[in-house]
Amino acid sequence: MMSRRRDLLRVVASATATAAVAGLLLGALGDVAAGQARLKIGIIGAGRIGGTLGEHWVKAGHEVLLSSRHPERLKPLADRLGPRARVGTPREAAAFGEVVLVSVPYGAFPQVGRDHADELRGKIVLDPGNPFAQRDGPMAEEARRKGTATASLEYLGSVRLVRAFNTIPASVLRNEAHRAGERIAVPLASDDEQALEVAARLVRDAGFEPVLVGPLARSIAFDAGTAVFGRGLTARELRRGLGLEP
């Protein structure tokens, strides 16, 4: 009798703790979406896209863990960015981030998903990946056929996926952030509304204008090879290109 009551108390305590953690996370991410809180961002693949976004987000006040399979090579970048930047392994980035950017060549997505499934589960994952057969092999052709978002979800598992930053050339990402006048647009798609809002905030913090396209299924409209891909369009031009309301 006593042991059953103890078991029950343990279940209640564990459920309360889970609810409290979920509540805290929702609260914090709600603040982030509203532009009030600072985020912990893990970056897997700190190359042209990941390294540049890491830099923009540190400057915006976020805490960023830039990762590499050779973390020591990123030390000079992190030193230059100051105390809000740190370096680590891809696993450490996946574990550190409330939001994780997976900016590796698309051919590495299956391996990243397999290796870091536990750390990534349930997290907001920003996916700028573009499959190119020349670089990524036959898996790229399959991903193009089914739509990149569908393929990414298969590789990354139970994450809150947002297609983000895939259309913007690395040079534009580096040189046109926070530019005067109309900003360059970044189309976003996700099945998770809160993840979409958090991603929109991070697009603004990086110095660009988010355009919310809709659920993941709609992201096929801005996959590699579409008319709006790789062109550095403003939000008005992008909306027009995607047939969205102004």
Could you say which residues in the range 28-57 bind ligand NAP, by CB under 6 A?
44-50
Select the residue whose beta carbon is closest to ligand NAP and give its number: 47
Q: Is 95 in the site for ligand NAP (CB under 6 A)?
A: no
Q: In the complex, what is the shortest distance from the CB of residue 169 to ligand NAP, in angstroms, rounded to a whole number?
A: 4
Please report how many Cα atoms fall inside a 13 Å half-sphere around the Cα of residue 123, on the Cβ side: 26
Q: Choose, by CB under 6 A, the member of 28, 30, 37, 105 that binds ligand NAP.
A: 105
Q: Is 108 in the site for ligand NAP (CB under 6 A)?
A: yes
Please report how many Cα atoms fall inside a 13 Å half-sphere around the Cα of residue 196, on the Cβ side: 14
CA atoms of 74 and 71, how far apart (whole Å): 5
Q: Is 69 in the site for ligand NAP (CB under 6 A)?
A: yes
Closer by beta carbon to ligand NAP, 38 or else 48: 48
CA atoms of 178 and 205, how far apart (whole Å): 9
Q: Choose, by CB under 6 A, the member of 1, 3, 4, 70 that binds ligand NAP.
A: 70
CA atoms of 239 and 242, how far apart (whole Å): 5
Q: Is 113 in the site for ligand NAP (CB under 6 A)?
A: no
CA atoms of 85 and 41, how far apart (whole Å): 10
Q: In the complex, what is the shortest distance from the CB of residue 105 to ligand NAP, in angstroms, rounded to a whole number?
A: 5
Closer by beta carbon to ligand NAP, 49 or else 199: 49
Angle, helices 138-146 vs 148-156, to 10°: value is: 110
Q: Choose, by CB under 6 A, the member of 30, 110, 157, 169 that binds ligand NAP.
A: 169
DSSP annotation string for 57-125:
HHHTT-EEEEE-SSGGGGHHHHHHH-TTEEEE-HHHHHHH-SEEEE-S-GGGHHHHHHHTHHHHTTSEE
CA atoms of 187 and 220, how far apart (whole Å): 11
Closer by beta carbon to ligand NAP, 29 or else 109: 109
Could you say which residues in the range 115-154 bind ligand NAP, by CB under 6 A?
128-130
Closer by beta carbon to ligand NAP, 170 or else 220: 170
Closer by beta carbon to ligand NAP, 10 or else 146: 146
Closer by beta carbon to ligand NAP, 90 or else 210: 90
Closer by beta carbon to ligand NAP, 47 or else 137: 47
Strands 85-88 and 63-67: parallel
The H helix count followed by the E strand count for the chain is 12, 8
Termini Cα distance of the chain: 65
Query: Footprint of ligand NAP on this chain (CB under 6 A)?
Result: 44-50, 68-70, 90, 103-106, 108, 111-112, 128-130, 166, 168-170
